[in-house]
Amino acid sequence: MSIVFGCVVYASLDYIDDNLVNTSLVHEMDRLGKRYNENVDTLIPNSPNILVFQGTVAMPAFALELVDGIGEGIHERYYEKVEYHIAVKSFPNRIAPLYLIYDVSGLEFIESRRLEVGAVLAASCILVVAIGVWIGFLTSQRVIAPVAYLSDQVARWGPGSLPADLAEKFCKDEVGVLAQALEEASRRIKAFVQREQEFTRDTSHELRSPVTVIKGAAELLKRRTNAGDDRIRKPLLRIERAVTNMEHIIENLLWLAREENHEFRETCAAAAVIRESIEQLEQVMSNKPVSVIINQKADPVLQAPAPIFRITFVNLIQNAFRHTTHGQIKIEILDDRIVIADSGEGIDDCDVDKLTAPHVRGKTSTGFGLGLTIVERLCSRFGWRFELDSEMGCGTTATLIFDTAPPYVPADATNAAGCEKLPQKTPQ
């Protein structure tokens, strides 16, 4: 705005300067022209800067060049970078026209001063702009400071560090209203998380007692009854499988009820946990003609508690066992990943990406649709990556990756059923 104002002032100054000179020249032409029309040859101007010529006979060379090609009226011409204003007028009683040549170089506001005036205006504009920028910066800092502070406080929030007195740090303005709304929202979130964790923890603890009773009763019945009687043995095996599944579900709930930002410093040997889990599940998995083959090529040590990795692995191996009626399940242990490939019926391509959503089950699944959801949540918490690759009729391959290494492709490029593997798909 100041620049526009300076340009307007400079242009106005130039216009006023020219207008004053031309007005003075018109008045002088009227006064001298009257005498010239009355045949008075002695014409004396009021200003020493005005030259009077009766025709062009007595004109010097620079004057002849100035008036060359001009007619009656007021004209502005330059000669050797000097500005002249020229008035020309003809009179009925005289043959030659009257010329008045006004040398404006001696005036106060002329071309030689315009540069100085322009420099002053430019400096003034720059100063005004600088002051405006400085004032605007200070004002914006005072206006933005509460918003920046609020943003910083919100960025520091975590599951266990939701603020309780955020609104007290702000004035009763728009930012204060926003802070109060965020504080209310954080209270509701904190209460909801607390209720969810308490419910999950209490429910899991309450379920452990009856599960323990059922497990003990089943063991007692097995010892006291005839083990070779299929009418008793098969129901007992179903009870044992159900108890084992319930124990894993309770353990999953207890771990998931913990704080998301809890830091675990424990480590575990993945291969040992895998073999131990297979041994625990051996009795449950003995009712199908399915063999488990472990191919250990490395012994990775994970930065996670053993129960966490056991939960993840057991969910995957149980999922593979449920969907494999006969054949084999291959478990490959590498430095950066665990690969579990079964020879089951496989999963349709359109269903693979949906299986990690809660309560989503395969068409032949008899579970609750929580196994892969729990795996996905634990992978997200510990920085692992879970990939699922399946083909109808050829089986499914689940890969648990512990870093960002390039995708692994076995040497034979086949799964447990001997079918050619498709490109891996990462569940969303």
Q: What is the DSSP string of 31-62?
A: HHHHHHHTT------SSTTEEEEESSTT--HH
**Is residue 424 within 8 Å of residue 385, measured between CB atoms?**
no
Distance of CA 53 to the CA centre of its chain: 79
Give the C-alpha separation, 407 to 421, whole Å: 13
The yes-or-no verdict on residue 368 having pLDDT over 50 is no
Q: How far is CA 149 from CA 155, 157, 171, in A?
A: 10, 13, 13
* 3 state SS of 291: strand
Q: Does residue 134 belong to any structural domain of this protein?
A: no
**Do 364 and 241 reside in the same domain of the chain?**
no
301 and 243, same structural domain? no
Higher-pLDDT residue of 288 and 229 is 288
Q: Is the pLDDT of residue 48 over 80?
A: yes
- pLDDT confidence band for 334 (50 / 70 / 90): very high
**Residue where one domain finishes, among candidates 208, 228, 262:** 262
Instruction: Please check whether residue 52 is in contact with residue 42, taking contact to mean a CB–CB distance below 8 angstroms.
Output: no
Instruction: Of 147, 54, 154, give the one whose Cα is nearest residue 101.
Output: 54
Residue 90 has pLDDT above 80, yes or no: yes
Look at residues 94, 114, 134 and tell me which one is the last residue of a structural domain: 114
User: Is the pLDDT higher at 65 or at 423?
Assistant: 65
Looking at residues 394-414, what average pLDDT do you find?
Answer: 64
- pLDDT at residue 423 in the model: 39
Least confident of 204-208, 351-355, 393-397: 351-355
- Whether 176 is covered by a domain: the verdict is yes
Is residue 147 one of the residues assigned to a domain?
no
Are 85 and 186 in a shared domain?
no
- CATH classification of the domain holding 81: 3.30.450
Whether 275 and 320 share a structural domain: yes
Judge whether 130 lies within some domain. no
Lowest pLDDT segment from 77-81, 302-306, 364-368: 364-368
Average pLDDT over residues 275-296: 83
Residues 240 and 315 in one domain: no
pLDDT over 70 at 298, yes or no: yes
pLDDT digits (tens, 9 = 90+) for 7-43: 666 666 666 777 878 888 888 888 888 888 887 777 8
- Tell whether 363 is covered by a domain: yes
pLDDT of residue 340: 93
pLDDT, averaged across the chain: 76
Cα separation, 191 vs 311, in Å, equals: 28
Is 122 a domain residue?
A: no
Q: Do 58 and 97 share a structural domain?
A: yes
* 332, 409 contact by CB (below 8 A): no
Q: What kind and span of H or E run contains 333?
A: strand 327-333
pLDDT of residue 366: 45
Total number of domains constituting the chain:
3
| Band (178; pLDDT cuts 50, 70, 90) | confident
The CATH number for 174's domain is 1.10.287
Least confident of 116-125, 133-142, 204-213: 116-125
* Same domain, yes or no: 273 and 258: no
Nearest-CA neighbor of 67 among 81, 53, 47, 80? Answer: 53
* Mean pLDDT score, 188-216: 78
With a pLDDT cut of 70, the percent of the chain lying above it is 73
Residues 249 and 324 grouped into a single domain: no
Query: In whole angstroms, what is the distance from residue 317 CA to residue 324 CA?
Result: 11
- Which 3 state secondary structure label does DSSP give 293? strand
Q: Provide the total of helices (H) and of strands (E) in the chain, helices listed first.
A: 9, 11
Q: In this predicted structure, what is the pLDDT of residue 401?
A: 92
Q: Count CB neighbours of 261 within 10 A.
A: 10
On whether residue 148 sits in a domain, the answer given is: no
List phi, psi (to 5°) of 269. -90, 115
List, in order, residues 6 or more apart from 228 with CB less than 8 Å away.
Answer: none
Boundary (domain end) residue, out of 52, 81, 114 = 114
CB within 8 A of 404, min separation 6: which ones? 385
145 inside domain: no
- Lowest model confidence (mean pLDDT) among 53-67, 152-166, 196-210, 215-229: 152-166
pTM, entire model: 0.46
CATH number of the domain that residue 399 is part of: 3.30.565.10
Its domain, for residue 179, covers: 157-262
How many angstroms separate the CA atoms of 57 and 367, rounded?
Answer: 120
Share of the chain above pLDDT 90, in %: 8
Confidence of residue 419 (pLDDT cuts 50, 70, 90): very low
Q: Alpha-carbon torsion 74, 78, 84, 89, what sign?
A: negative
Distance, in Å, from the CA atom of 229 to the CA atom of 369, rounded to the nearest integer, reads 34
Question: In terms of domains, do 315 and 274 share one?
Answer: yes
**Are both 199 and 256 inside the same structural domain?**
yes
Segment (H or E) for 396: strand 395-401
Identify the top-confidence range among 138-142, 348-352, 418-422.
Answer: 138-142
Q: Is residue 96 domain-shared with residue 245, that is, in the same domain?
A: no
How far is the C-alpha of 263 from the C-alpha of 160, rounded, in Å?
Answer: 13
What pLDDT band is residue 418 in, cutting at 50, 70 and 90?
Answer: very low
Pick from 69-78, 214-223, 227-236: least confident:
227-236
The set of residues, in sequence order, having a beta carbon less than 8 Å from that of 70 and lying 6+ positions away, is 77, 86, 88
421 and 288 share a domain? yes
